[in-house]
Structure 1
Amino acid sequence: MSRMFSLLALLAALYLAICAAVWVFQRSLIYFPQPLAISHPDTLLRLAVDEGEVLVSVRPRAGPNALIYFGGNAEDVSLNLPEFAQAFPEHALYLMHYRGYGGSAGSPSEAAIQRDALALFDRVHAAHPRVVVMGRSLGSAVAVRLASQRPASRLVLITPFDSLLKFATRQFPYLPIKWLLKDRFESSTYAARIRVPTLLVAAEHDEIIPRASTEALYRHFPPGVARLEMIAGEGHNTISESPAYLPLLRAAL
């Protein structure tokens, strides 16, 4: 009997150790900071934040139109500049490097990223009254929350999901994720508050985001606000390689 109790105690200790490790190291499983590839002085804006500066890759352009882009959790957003400059010639471009990414100060977290997104929008909107907000993968959660809090003109979500909490719960069903997860990215909550035209773009063979998650998010938008488009033959990381990708985004603007 004592051996059984010892075994149970060992298993309980191991389980608690796993939970503790998830609590401590979870953000290293969510965020994968990337270095900055395109860093010419005329393509960088430095946004002052509480921990120093957040870098924003930019293509300046005078006029009323601007586009703010939030990338995936392992994306160097500066690599989008050349193609975005061609695809959106009438828009000033602002591509934010999350904290810890591309030379931005600090460490990424949901709360910090959302504060920075609000600060960037306010700065951009002061110069451009029509601001499109666009986000891909993790960035889709940043974008939809921002658009629920600020007067975006349009919203574009690429390979979006409904909730990181739900996603993590499915991935780790034997862990108390509800109590452990710090950054939840509950996009569905914010989708219900969106009133501007919204495009959701999914990949037919997305191996990261289940189609059910994207469709669940779509159903949370008010009737008539959003539409869902599928790009055939592509996966989560290859969707931007499709010939249909940029024309679809351009048409949404």
Structure 2
Amino acid sequence: MSRILSILAVLAALYVAICVALLVFQRSLIYFPQPLSISQPDTLLRLPVDDGEVLVSVRPHAGPNALIYFGGNAEDVSLNLAEFSQAFPEHALYLLHYRGFAGSAGSPSEEAIQRDALALFDRVHAAHPQTVVMGRSLGTGVAIRLASQRPASRLLLITPFDSLQTIAARQFPFLPIKWLLKDKFESSTYAARIKVPTLLIAAEQDEIIPRSSTEALYRHFAPGVATLKVIPDKGHNSISESPAYLPLLRAAM
């Protein structure tokens, strides 16, 4: 009996240690900061924030139209500049580098990124009253919350999910994720507040975001607000390689 109790004590201690490690290091499992690839002076905006500045890759364009883009958790968004410039020639482009990415100040967290997103939208919208908000993967959580708080003209969500907490709970069913996770990105909470035309694009072979998560998010939008499209034969990271990808986005603009 004493040996059984000892084994149980060791297992309990190991379980607690895993929980503590997840609590302490979880953001290093969510965010993977990338360096900046394209850094010409005319492609960078330095946006002042509460404790420094964050970088925004830009393609200036006069007129009412703009696109704000929030990338994935391991994405150098500057690499989209050339492709987006060709795809959206009538839009000024603003691609946010999250805190800790590409020389942006601070460390990434859901609330810090959301504050930066609001600051960027307010600056862009003042010059471009028709501002489209687009997010990919983790960035869809930023984009949908922003669009629930600011007058975006349209919302585009690429490989979106209903909740980071739900996805994490599927991956670690033996851990109390609800109590441990700091950045939950509860997109489904904000979906019902969205009033502007919204496009959700899923990858048929997405190995990271389950289709059930995207469909659960889709069901939270009010009837007639959102459209869900699935790109065949592509995965989470290869969806943008599909010839259907940019035409779908252009059509939604």
TM-score by length of 2: 0.99
Deviation readout 1:170-224 (Å, 9 max, x if unpaired): 0000000010000000000000100000000011111110000000000000000
Residues 29-44 of structure 1: pairs in structure 2 closer than 5 A: 29-44=29-44
Task: Report the counterpart of residue 221 of structure 1 in structure 2.
Answer: 221
Q: Tell me if 1:250 matches 2:235.
A: no
Task: Report the counterpart of residue 10 of structure 1 in structure 2.
Answer: 10
Q: Which amino acid aligns with 1:213?
A: S
Deviation readout 1:14-70 (Å, 9 max, x if unpaired): 110000000000001100111000000000000111221100000001110000000
How much has 1:233 moved relative to structure 2? 1.0
Q: Distance in 2 between matches of 1:204 and 1:172?
A: 24
Residues 56-205 of structure 1: pairs in structure 2 closer than 5 A: 56-205=56-205
Q: Which amino acid aligns with 2:128?
A: H
Task: Report the counterpart of residue 233 of structure 2 in structure 1.
Answer: 233
Report the secondary structure of 1:46's partner residue. strand
Task: Report the counterpart of residue 49 of structure 1 in structure 2.
Answer: 49
Deviation readout 1:114-161 (Å, 9 max, x if unpaired): 000000000001101010000000000100000000000000000000
Q: Distance in 2 between matches of 1:51 and 1:73?
A: 22
Q: Distance in 1 between matches of 2:245 and 2:233?
A: 12
Report the secondary structure of 1:140's partner residue. helix
Q: Distance in 1 between matches of 2:23 and 2:3?
A: 30
Q: Distance in 2 between matches of 1:156 and 1:40?
A: 27
Q: Which amino acid aligns with 2:161?
A: F
Report the secondary structure of 2:219's partner residue. helix
Q: Distance in 1 between matches of 2:14 and 2:204?
A: 39
Identify unmatched segments of 5+ residues in structure 1.
Answer: none
Q: Distance in 2 between matches of 1:229 and 1:14?
A: 44
Q: Which amino acid aligns with 1:33?
A: P
Aligned residues: 253
Q: Which amino acid aligns with 1:60?
A: P
Q: Distance in 2 between matches of 1:65 and 1:81?
A: 16
Q: Distance in 1 between matches of 2:108 and 2:184?
A: 13
How much has 1:8 moved relative to structure 2? 1.4
Q: Quote the sequence identity (%).
A: 83
Q: Distance in 1 between matches of 2:10 and 2:190?
A: 42
Q: Which amino acid aligns with 1:8?
A: L
Deviation readout 1:59-96 (Å, 9 max, x if unpaired): 00111000000000010000000010010000000000
How much has 1:97 moved relative to structure 2? 0.2
Q: Which amino acid aligns with 1:234?
A: K
Report the secondary structure of 1:220's partner residue. coil
Q: Which amino acid aligns with 1:175?
A: L
Deviation readout 1:218-240 (Å, 9 max, x if unpaired): 00000000000011111100000
Q: Distance in 1 between matches of 2:85 and 2:61?
A: 10
